[in-house]
Structure 1
Amino acid sequence: MDSRIQSDDNLQRMMVGSMMRKVKSRTWKKQRHFRLQEDGLTVGYKSSWARKIHSAFSLCDVEAVREGHQSEILLSIADEFPPDRCFTLVFRGRRGNLDLVAETAAEAQAWIHGIRTLLENIENMGESEKLDQWICDWFHKGDKNKDGRMNFKEVRKLLKMMNMDMNEEHALLLFTTADKSQTDSLNNEEFVQFYKMLTEREEVVGLFQEYSSDGEKLSVCDLEDFLREEQLESENSQQRASELIDRYEPSDGAKTLPAMSIDGFLMYLCSSEGSIFNLEHKGIYQDMTLPLCHYFICSSHNTYLLEDQLRGQSSVEGYIQALKRGCRCVEVDCWDGANGEPVVYHGHTLTSKILFKDVVATVGNYAFKVSEHPVILSLENHCGIDQQRVMAMHLSSILGDKLLKAPLNGRTPYDLPSPEELKGKIILKWKKIGGITDNLDAAEEDVSDEDETDKDNFSSEDQNHGNKKSKQSLCAELSDLVVYCKSVHFRSFEHSRIHSKPIEVSSFSEFKARKYLKEAGTEFVRHNARQLTRVYPTGMRTDSSNFCPQEMWNIGCQIVALNVQTAGMEMDLNDGFFRQNGSCGYILKPDFLRKPESNFDPERPQDFEGYHPQRLLIRVISGQQLPKLSKKEGSIVDPLVKVEIYGVPQDQAKQETRHIDNNGFNPIWNETLEFAIHTPDLAIVRFVVEDYDKASRNDFVGQYALPFKSIQPGYRHIHLLSKDGTSIPPSSLFVHIGITEAS
């Protein structure tokens, strides 16, 4: 990293440091001195009068840099500071953005380009480099006096910070071995060597030696045997072994043999190719040419909210985060605003308001950055005729050709097109005046408003009048923009079967959907094979909590809308489920959920003709560098692993390992958990690491969820994620997976 900094003028400028304004609001704008630290990955900042840095952030936590007025806060001071001096740092997870104003445009550009260069360097790091950098980060944290060296007492203290309580005699022996300079202290490079000796993976060494012909290395034949017998990779296994040696073996000498050392073997197992998630499913591997109703669609509820739905902040950032997370259906609650401009917020509550036109512009800018497949704009419209016309104008003028305004290729819009045909298009979901193909001469028309407007506007007014059917005037200009997603009130499955068109969408609260599921599960499945269904959280969830989406996916509901801003098991499942198929936001439903006459009932999967149960064996072997929860000195995690299966009711199951006392660093469990999977196409497996506490509820440490069908068998690493769904390297679990036909 040092040589790169020395050869880059922008990074050199960042090392010198700059005075910039940190902006939190229109009135809170304070000068801070920002400087890139010597490690080339940390930015520290302090008040101009302070002697020492009092705050810092790692560039590993930065997701992107936005230039100019690309945040609501910077937009609010646009009259004061020009866009060429402003930029925003966007962090991973739910950490707030950092809005900055440089003294000059040149200074801003130096930081923008410099940070982007460093982010690109981080992205291109190999597994070994990433690990070395992680160790160096810990070294800098432990080096309190910043002299670049650490004695044994400091190292022992750092190990506890790193979540490890170990034998002092063993640690001292390794410390002495690593102290090549014989100064009774370790520099950065020596500490990296000490750490690697300390973390030697006995369970991996044992596996390596089991397949090594000479106990020293894996020849191509040895590695081929391992891939075929353990990883169940029988196709082109010799070529595959050669490729892995070329890709992961760090020693040039071993490569020329060719062979793989223990270091190369460990790097392969820790890589994405050694991950539990099937690499083939990371790209788009499903047929994307079927009608829209044949896909599960990643969907967001109350997308504008960053917090709860009573007093939370409304922000365009909610749309940016949802779209970046892969959501393909976002919700916009529109109300009449001041100066003739519609606003977006949660009606009858204290949530803040944002302009409808700003939401539309944000959706237009971010709709296709993660996926090129269509985005559905689900309108919850409470505006009068005049502001509906303004909405129509903004949608057309801001989105331009991205907005779908007419049926594809001039076809009559009775049948739903496919995600492939709708690539790059934004589709409006709302009510429509009259029939689908009616000539709309009237400027406005009253339409019964029965499907969604009482969904979650929780107030005394709604409670008093919630049972009354309301009439809403709709304007033709907005109605004309609805093509393939016409919102209609649901009457019954029989009525829909006889009268409904594929392009009509009905919305259900989670309570109503659950009621229909229990009363007529198979009918619900058949309904969803013909047309789109949206399910949303009840309005009683004032804390913006979520329901479990799995039960709705079990019956083929496509648009299962969740509060993306709320972390928890429900969002873990959503993220895990939509991790497959290139994270494009569309997952092809199993064929038994696409057939109009399907006999599938999630309550009785064994009765359906395609019943093929499987058996899942998971040996939880070990954990690596689990994150420390408590900042309290001496506090170390007592980890246990839970494995949870979500799917049809018969598949719902949870099992857990024992807990390991005082070792979040390299715990060993070696315990096998076994599950029967009745409907593999719908099952999701979630791994959760918890800190055992006998006196109270266990604390969350990390998680990872993925579809059962995306699991790779064999020896695999599970790279853990935080509660927010962001990566927490190098924290992982090492497991062995076995999948067989159930007897």
Structure 2
Amino acid sequence: MSHVLLLHLVRNGIAEDDNLQSMLVGAVMRKIKSRTWKKQRYFKLEDDCMTIWYKSKKAGNAHSTFSVSDVEAIREGHQSEVLLSIADEFPAERCFTMVFRGRRANLDLVAESAEEAESWIRGMRKLIENLENMGEREKLDQWIWDWFKKADKNNDGRMNFKEVQNLLKMMNVDMNEQHAHRLFTMADKSQSGTLEDDEFVLFYKMLTQREDVLRVFQRYSADGQKLSLSDLDHFLREEQLVGDNVQQYAMQLIELYEPSDRAKLLNAMTFDGFLMYLGSAEGSIFSPQRRGVYQDMSQPLCHYFISSSHNTYLMEDQLRGQSSVEGYIRALKRGCRCVEVDCWDGANGEPIVYHGHTFTSKILFKDVVSAVGKYAFKVSDYPVILSIENHCSVEQQRVMAQHLNHILGDKLLKSTLDGKAPIRLPSPEDLKGKILLKAKKIGGLEESFSGTEDSLTGEPSDEDEVAEIDGDNLHRESVRHRVKKSKQRLSKELSDCVVYCKSVRFNSFKHARIHSKVYEVASFTEYKARKHLREAGTEFVLHNSRQLTRVYPSGFRTDSSNFGPQEMWNAGCQIVALNFQTAGEGMDLNDGLFSQNGRCGYVLKPSFMREVEKTFDPEMPQKLDGYNPVMLNIQVISGQQLPKVNIKEDSIVDPLVRVEIHGVPTDQAKQETRYIDNNGFNPVWYDTLRFTIHTPDLAMVRFVVEDYDKTSKNDFVGQYTLPLTCMQQGKG
């Protein structure tokens, strides 16, 4: 084990933790995949305290492993459909779920005893917390240690030159064998013909020598060895354009990123510290001032873009995909503030959630509400909107209302904040900790204060309305039939749960301007929204300055793909609902927009989209009062440790960087760097790309790294997206 890593484990009390000691011994637990698939597996924590080892039937007699860093969270008890299905067989105190990052399926486990389950739950949480609290030096050490283990095929704690050559291929390095052997020999201080611990660290440092960063370091270093406080001050002013309290900021950076205690005493930064600083969040192109909640949160809801999910219950496509409460948990943990619940009559009087008239699996409405209640405010205190697609009978609507009231309690907003019909929507700040229902409602809020009948025929569901269909005449007759069937009676109990988000049918902008109430929400398919944007962009923006609009993907996207949300944001649409389960450009832009403002799920729209007296046409931004285009110059310098995209073991990436601008139509643009031949490990470009941005307040910048070799089925290496207004000037 690496000495630095061992010190870190001891320092954080991990080496003496009883739960981790138990995990190091290991345990036989049941891995559960369904009510009928329950297999015993032997799980143990490896000595590095970073890897879980287990015996898998798939791998025959061999073992499988996964890294603790791949685990996002541990959930106790019956918190998954799989564990709920066996709740009658195994008690909650013996069950837990490991939730993995990305698209990897969760791991549901049942321990032999409650004590054993508790030991693994507490131990895993300790390890996850420890990883989150690691310093930059410790993270780097852990990363090097992970590579060492991958390359050390015979697990003898040493690495010979053949293993080093295999490592270079894994790391995306196409290096001359003679040069690689020279570095190997220089690092082999013990002259044993193998690299161990610190020797491997030395080899890694020689391998990853950053000439581009060294050039900057030496330009500002008075002695070429370190950056004094005044040197670092100079760099921060000139390159990072830091203006206020620069010396104090420089001292903070030294304290945070300088690994040498001697350098810290001298108030100086070595090259290692400089490298760690530039690779950290502080050195990122994303402005640190925009990471926390920095916007005014006291404006009406309609003045914000709201992170929103479509078909939230689905984990895959919308024809045969699995429905799961996990979809809600994952969306809410990503900062989503509007989730969709598609409700239908179920067996035993219990409403169910699934994609109607398809083969998607079904889950209980009450389980969805429980998950939302538990996870709604884990990452953001601002309000969550439950967008209900109601296909239930009056009887089961009453059951829905009972579950909402019983499970959510005071979190569910049941009346206006001041007891009066609103003349404007409340703000996210006003509604902190509240869950709002978006659904059809009997009458308006005005009538609700004087009482009404028990039930009333409702309008068609938003997504069933003929006017919203994508214009395909072949489907009109079947749609009309569905609309006719969707005429239903509403229960007063469920209607009473709808306050500030009443779903209504949209007639026209003129009708809305004269007759609509601020709490009424219209929904459009992407095609209908696009049509309104083309024909009446200015009116659309004006409409969205007064009330909420939801836009959702076409029903013909059976693969749960996404449309581009940017054009809907250009019109000021707040609830732009995307399939969170589907990776791609749409979700990249969504994640990028909502990466600011504390990732709270609400982003304040530009002032020209909020003020009624302003006129903004996304197609003609030049007509806006105060029109002020900006020049954007981006220098792409270098990259490091890019992943492979080709499954062939000896393939090496030929990377290029494409910079895309997403915004109003006149701002849509893309440019590419040249490609670097056979180097995915440390490519250097120094290419400058230039753009003119007409509406910077709406512009998103997306960096895409691709493999120039298009023979690969997947030439996508990675991406990073952020709002232009959050880009830090200087080097990132």
TM over 0.5: yes
- Check the 8 A contact 2:645/2:712 in 1, yes or no: no
- Residue among 518, 521, 525 paired with 1:502: 518
Structure 2 CA distance for aligned equivalents of residues 554 and 464 of structure 1: 32
Is contact 2:187–2:203 with CA below 8 Å preserved after alignment?
Answer: yes
Task: Provide the residue aligned with 1:562 in structure 2.
Answer: 578
Equivalent-residue separation in structure 1 for 2:170 and 2:295 (angstroms): 45
Match for residue 530 of structure 1 among 546, 552, 558: 546
Q: How does 1:401-412 map to 2 (within 5 A)?
A: 401-412=410-421
SS at match of 1:484: strand
State the alpha-carbon separation in 1 of the partners of residues 425 and 186 from structure 2. 68
Aligned match for 1:423, one of 429, 432, 436: 432
Per the normalisation by structure 2, the TM-score is 0.95
Matched-pair contact (CA < 8 Å) for 1:298–1:561: yes
Indicate if the aligned counterparts of 1:45 and 1:53 stay in contact, CA closer than 8 A: no
How do 1:508-547 and structure 2 match up within 5 A? 508-547=524-563
CA distance in 1 between partners of 2:196 and 2:174 (Å) = 22
Deviations 1:571-600 (A, max 9, x none): 000000000000000000000000113211
Say whether the 8 Å CA contact 1:448–1:469 is kept in structure 2. Answer: no
1:263 corresponds to which of 265, 272, 291: 272
Partner SS state of residue 133, structure 1: helix
1:60-99 paired onto structure 2 within 5 Å: 60-99=69-108
Q: Secondary structure at the match of 2:191?
A: coil
Count matched residues. Answer: 716
Give the aligned partner of residue 197 of structure 2: 188
Is 1:44 aligned to residue 53 of structure 2? yes
Helix, strand or coil for the counterpart of 2:462?
A: coil
The alpha carbon displacement at 1:633 in A equals 2.1
Counterpart in the other structure of 1:178:
187
Aligned-pair identity (%) = 69
Counterpart in the other structure of 1:355: 364
1:580 aligns with 2:563: no
Relative distance call for 1:494 and 1:51 in structure 2 (3 A) is closer
Q: In 2, distance between residues paired with 1:677 and 1:391?
A: 48
- Matching residue of 1:451: 462
From 175, 181, 206, the equivalent of 1:197 is 206
Quick one: distance in 1 between partners of 2:250 and 2:366?
55
Secondary structure of the structure 2 residue equivalent to 1:125: coil
SS at match of 1:210: helix
Change (3 A) 1:350 1:51: closer
Contact 2:464 2:483 (C-alpha < 8 Å) held by counterparts: no
1:453 maps to amino acid: D
The residue number in structure 2 matching 1:736 is none
Q: Is the CA contact 2:78–2:84 (under 8 Å) kept in the aligned structure 1?
A: yes
User: How much does 1:619 deviate?
Assistant: 0.9
Match of 1:252 among 261, 265, 269: 261
SS in structure 1 of the partner of residue 458 of structure 2 = strand
Matches within 5 A, 1:158-237: 158-237=167-246
Matched residue type, 2:317: D
Assess if the C-alpha contact under 8 Å between 1:625 and 1:664 holds in 2. yes
1:437 partner SS: helix
Shift in Å, 1:54: 2.4
What is the identity, as a one-letter code, of the residue corresponding to 1:702?
G
Q: In the alignment, which of 678, 697, 704 is matched to residue 694 of structure 2?
A: 678
Tell me the amino acid that sits aligned with residue 258 of structure 1. N
1: distance between equivalents of 2:469 and 2:329? 23
Partner of residue 452, structure 2: 441
Q: Does 1:551 align with 2:567?
A: yes
Q: CA–CA distance in 2 between the matches of 1:545 and 1:306?
A: 12
* SS of equivalent to 1:372: coil
Change (3 A) 1:512 1:68: same
1:442 CA displacement: 1.3
- Could you tell me which residue of structure 1 aligns to residue 672 of structure 2? 656
Instruction: Please give the alpha-carbon distance, in whole angstroms, between the structure 2 residues aligned to 1:314 and 1:456.
Output: 24
Give the gaps of 5 or more residues in structure 1. Answer: 717-743
Are the equivalent residues in 2 in contact too, given 1:293–1:530 (CA < 8 A)? yes
- Please tell me the residue identity of whatever aligns with 1:451: D
**What is the alpha-carbon distance in structure 1 between the residues aligned to residue 117 and residue 634 of structure 2?**
51
Aligned position for 1:733: none
Task: Give the corresponding residue for 1:720.
Answer: none
1:51 Cα offset (Å): 8.8
Secondary structure of 1:380's aligned partner:
strand
Letter in 1 for 2:697: D
Tell whether the 8 Å contact from 1:299 to 1:329 is kept in structure 2 after alignment.
yes
Contact 2:552 2:576 in 1 (8 A): yes
AA aligned to 2:620 is: R
Q: State the shift of 1:630 in Å.
A: 3.2
Is 1:137 aligned to residue 146 of structure 2? yes
- Output aligned runs, 1:719-738, within 5 Å: none
> Distance between the aligned counterparts of 1:389 and 1:698, measured in 2?
49
Alignment deviations for residues 605-628 of structure 1 (CA, whole Å, 9 cap, x no partner): 111102111111111111101112
**Deviation by residue 1:390-440 (Cα, 9 ceiling, x = unmatched):** 111111111100000011032333421000000000001111112322133
Structure-2 change in CA distance of 1:698 and 1:504 (3 Å): same
Check whether the contact 1:456–1:540 (CA below 8 A) recurs between aligned residues. no
Instruction: Classify 1:105/1:214 alpha carbon distance in 2 versus 1 (closer, same or farther; 3 Å).
Output: same
Change in 2 beyond 3 A, CA 1:312/1:697: closer
SS in 1 for 2:172: coil
Counterpart of 2:218, as a letter, is: Q
2:414–2:499: 8 Å Cα contact kept in structure 1?
A: yes
Alpha-carbon distance in 1 for matches of 2:168, 2:644: 11
Give ranges in structure 2 of 5+ residues lacking alignment. none
**How do residues 384-403 of structure 1 correspond to structure 2 at under 5 angstroms?**
384-403=393-412
**Following the alignment from structure 1 to structure 2, what is the Cα–Cα distance between the partners of residues 268 and 622?**
16
Aligned counterpart for 1:151 among listed residues 146, 160, 163: 160
SS of 1:664's partner is coil
Equivalent residue in structure 1 for 2:607, among 575, 591, 607: 591
- Letter of the 2:506 partner, please give it: F
Asked if the contact 2:52–2:68 (Cα under 8 Å) also holds between the matched residues in 1, the reply is yes
Cα RMSD of the aligned pairs, angstroms, is 1.8
Q: Give me the whole-angstrom Cα distance separating, in 2, the residues matched to 1:147 and 1:448.
A: 71
Q: CA deviation at 1:354?
A: 0.7
Q: Distance in 1 between matches of 2:643 and 2:197?
A: 22
Inter-partner Cα distance in structure 1 for 2:372 and 2:173? 46
Match of 1:127 in 2: 136
The Cα of 1:697 is off from its aligned counterpart by 6.5
- Decide which moves more: 625-634 or 147-156: 625-634
Closer/same/farther in 2, CA of residues 125 and 158 from structure 1, 3 Å limit = same
Query: Counterparts of 1:163 and 1:577 in 2: how far apart (Å)?
Result: 31
Q: Partners in 2 of 1:11 and 1:470 — Cα distance? A: 56
8 A contact 2:343–2:392 mirrored in 1: yes
Aligned counterpart in structure 1 of residue 40 of structure 2, from 31, 54, 60: 31
TM-score by length of 1: 0.94
Secondary structure of 1:263's aligned partner? helix
Residues in 1 aligned to 2:57 and 2:317: alpha-carbon distance in whole angstroms: 37
For 1:79-104, what per-residue CA distance to the aligned partner results, in whole angstroms no more than 9, with x for missing partners?
Answer: 11111111100001111100001111
Question: In structure 2, what is the Cα distance between the partners aligned to 1:447 and 1:74?
Answer: 38
**Residue of structure 2 in register with 1:59 after alignment:** 68
Q: String of CA shifts for 1:186-245, please: whole Å, max 9, x gaps.
A: 113311211111101001111001011111111111111111111111211122222212
Give 1:644 deviation, angstroms. Answer: 0.5
State how far apart, in whole Å, the 2-side matches of 1:216 and 1:500 are: 68
Matched, 1:322 2:331: yes
Alignment of 1:626-645 (within 5 A): 626-645=642-661
2:374 aligned partner = 365
Distance 2:82 2:477 in 1: 33
